[in-house]
Structure 1
Amino acid sequence: MGVIVLESILVHVPKPIDKKVKSTLAPKLSDLNNANIAFLDNLKPQSDHVLNGISELAQGHAASIKMFKKIDTPTLLPDDVIGEIKENFHGMITGVGD
């Protein structure tokens, strides 16, 4: 009779996020004229290039533009940053590169 050796395998199962994330889309802006626009770099490859290009086009129309950057890809934005965007901006643009 042969011997069977089983090796253990460590499997990482991430904990679910405790926060209840309620997501709804904001109404579309009719145009960018005099709007305060937030840009969010989600750190995907080339996303900064996409957002910089769009922000350059928007600069002649929007009242103000501000860039935000996530600290890493999987982490949610901190509540204070979300609050700042909700309170001070009419719209937000985020991009996925690659």
Structure 2
Amino acid sequence: MDFYIDRTASGATDFGPTFGGVQRAPLELHGGRLSLHVVVDASSVEVYAQNTCGEQVTLTDQIFPDPSSTGIAAFAEGGTATHNHMQAWRQKSIWP
């Protein structure tokens, strides 16, 4: 399975020919669960993925979203997935 971040619709992407691309890393599920930890701030996305065997993949991308953008999406391609649990926290700014 490929785990990936798709920046093609992440906001401003037209300033470089490869910026609006898709970054991929392999991560096999082995028929088990996938645990995701996602950190989003004003200009970056970090996703930490771990399968039930303890194998891990981390992808980090810089983004320049429109200020009105407030969502993320997760989905399965070529199969099915069940969403079991989600938690979200608002991080405090480091700036006064």
TM-score (norm 1): 0.24
Q: Which has the higher contact order (CA 8 A, sep 6+)?
A: 1
Question: Which of these two proteins has the greater Rg computed from alpha carbons?
Answer: 1
Structure holding more helix per residue = 1
Structure holding more strand per residue = 2
